[in-house]
Amino acid sequence: MPEMPEVQGLTAFLTERAVGRTIIRTSVGAIAALKTYDPPNTALHGAVITAATRRGKFIVLSCGDDLHLVFHLAKAGWLRWYETLPATPIKPGKSPIAVRVGLDDESGFDLTEAGTKKSLAVYVVRDPEEVPGIARLGPDPLDESFTREVFGGLLQGRRTQIKGLLRDQGVIAGIGNAYSDEILHAARMSPYAIADKLGDEEIDRLYAAMRTTLTDAVEAASGKPPADLKDAKRRGMQVHARRGETCPVCGDTIRSVFFADRSMEYCPTCQTGGKPLADRRLSRLLK
């Protein structure tokens, strides 16, 4: 799933390559991906892209103040850029292309989604706050106003596991499964730690790990075209998606806990006092 660093990388690329260009056409390949109808997607035709910004994991392409193309890549979506957009028409339901956007210099991009579970979402709105997912976003963890005190205040009274809290977009915007694994490993903290039970030193450590991990990942994504961002993300992972490999910090074996549609990775020595967490999927199979 693209998370804040990769989405920021895409936003920076679109700022450099698409801002100032005129949208000449849009094609919808997956009707279910388009979540709005007023304004219609054809309202974008002839509009000049004036800004590309990130809101959590959403990308907003603004055409002036009152027309915006907003999209969320969800779990299996991606942006495929073309210097010369293919002329082949999209066949709805026959390809992974959800939406195609063509620009006035013959370039453009496809929003694609792999797999059978379709969650990619595209909106054409007059105000980005009309998008429900944007309206409910918590603060951005790399914003200057997101201080350690603000972070500590968010944890108070939340009797929930810290892994889930970091992933909750209504609490903190932009962090998903992968970077929550990385942040907790860097903070030497169990993913099952309860948020409002953390002491001051643990909160200090977690806040520093969050800022450092995300800042480094954003820097690693900076300047890369969309085609290179996924590999850059994989190379930067210390524990996520590295089950069975050696922890680069302590040398222990990285473990996984599986859930219905995802897994989390962690290092027992670094994070859980050397104790492996119960693998719930395996436990069910053994019953």
Catalytic residue among 2, 96, 141, 226: 2
> CB-based contacts of 5: which residues, under 8 Å, 6+ apart?
179, 214, 217, 218, 220, 221, 233
According to DSSP, the β-strands at 97-103 and 108-113 are antiparallel
262 is annotated as an active-site residue:
yes
Burial environment of residue 9 by CB neighbours within 10 A (0 to 12, 13 to 18, 19 or more): buried
d(CA 34, CA 64): 21
Q: Which of 197, 231, 53, 27 is nearest to 129 (CA)?
A: 53
Catalytic residue among 17, 57, 100, 163: 57
57 is annotated as an active-site residue:
yes
CA 68 to chain centre: 20
Q: Which residue has the tokens 């009707």?
A: 31
> CB-based contacts of 143: which residues, under 8 Å, 6+ apart?
none
Question: In sequence order, which ranges of the chain are alpha helices (DSSP H)?
Answer: 4-17, 132-135, 148-155, 162-167, 177-186, 200-221, 226-236, 268-271, 280-286
Catalytic residue among 117, 136, 230, 262: 262
6 is annotated as an active-site residue:
no
- CA-based max dimension of the chain: 61
Distances from the Cα of 8 to the Cα of 73, 134, 202, 223, 231, angstroms: 13, 16, 28, 10, 15
2 is annotated as an active-site residue:
yes
Cite the active site residues. 2-3, 57, 262
